[in-house]
Amino acid sequence: MLRYLTPALMLALALTMPAFAQSPSSSPPSVFAPGRPIPSTGELLPTVGLGTAVVFNTADATTLRQARAVVRALIDNGGKLIDTASTYGDAERILGDVIGPLSLHDKLFIATKLESADVEELKRSLNRLQVSKLDLLQLHNVRNPQQSLSAFRDWKTQGVCRYIGITSTSHGAFAAIEAVLTREKPDFVQIDYSIDDRDAEQRILPVAAEVKAGVLTALPFGRGRLFRAVRDRPLPDWAQAFAGSWAQFFLKYLLADPRVTAAIPGTADAAHMADNLGAMRGPLPDPDQRRQMVRFIDTL
């Protein structure tokens, strides 16, 4: 897969894909391309990745075996993005033990997070992940609206990372996220967003589109509450036109918004990883179908 768009491919995508500044009511692309362009560069990024919070936080043989299978399923099914953090227990170390020995660095887009602009924390993350550079380095849990990203920009200039970003999964931090996005204009913002938690649609996604920041959606299954809500229900007949599973239903709701760059559900199950990646293929729900999806979930 090409990591960057050629001029011809950029023109083709411009004619077939919506602008990132579109409102969520605008028509989304009906079928996915191999990836969606990162707004700041045009580099294609597959639209479903892997989150590692909780699922890989223990450094033991079982977790390592699961991580190997999940990362292989990610790559084999067209994914690249793995998102982790310095505070996710041993997740960075587990990933390093998977990626390093198999030399998978060039097949992946590796993102991690620091709690502060701490060079020692950065060195520790690089060492655990067994990499010399990162694809994306994010400031985790932004709460301060005056937060500077100058150190992160310096690391980007030095080649330590290719992109920088900010994250939060707290609605109480939305004002800070909006302020930092507007002033610092990072390459990415990662936010809590799911079909039953849609506040980001009105507050964060419009700002991200305005400053041309890619959007990663954390917790797209709502910490598992969406699966609990549907329990053993079959997919509605009308949803089977675009989704082959409940996981794809939840993910395609998010990915039908053209401002979303990628969703990053967490899993330690290779079969679930492959199913999640199925959301990158086939038709997306149109605006009317998205509204029908919301009505359905809101009644559960």
pTM of the model as a whole:
0.89
In a domain, 111, yes or no: yes
Spell out a b/e string for 201-235, using b for 16 or more CB atoms within 10 Å of the CB, else e.
Answer: beebbebbbebebbbbbbbbbbeeebeeeeeeeee
Any domain includes 247: no
Identify the domain containing residue 134 by its residue range. 46-234+257-277
Per-residue model confidence as pLDDT tens digits over 100-153:
998 999 999 999 999 999 999 999 999 999 999 999 999 999 999 999 999 999
Residue 225 covered by a domain: yes
* Pairing between β-strand 161-168 and β-strand 134-139 as defined by DSSP bridges: parallel
Q: Is 284 contained in some domain?
A: no
- The model's confidence at residue 34, banded by pLDDT at 50, 70 and 90, is low
Q: pLDDT averaged over the chain?
A: 91
For 224-246, what is each residue's pLDDT tens digit? 999 999 998 999 999 999 999 99
What CATH number corresponds to the domain at position 173?
A: 3.20.20.100
50 assigned to some structural domain: yes
Is there a domain that residue 272 lies in? yes
Q: Using CA atoms of 196, 175, 55, 256 in order, give the dihedral in degrees to the nearest 10.
A: 50
Q: Indicate the SS3 state at residue 111.
A: strand
Number of structural domains in the chain? 1
Question: Quick one: how far is CA 262 from the chain centroid?
Answer: 4
- Does a structural domain hold residue 173? yes
Mean pLDDT of 212-224: 96
Is 75 inside any structural domain? yes
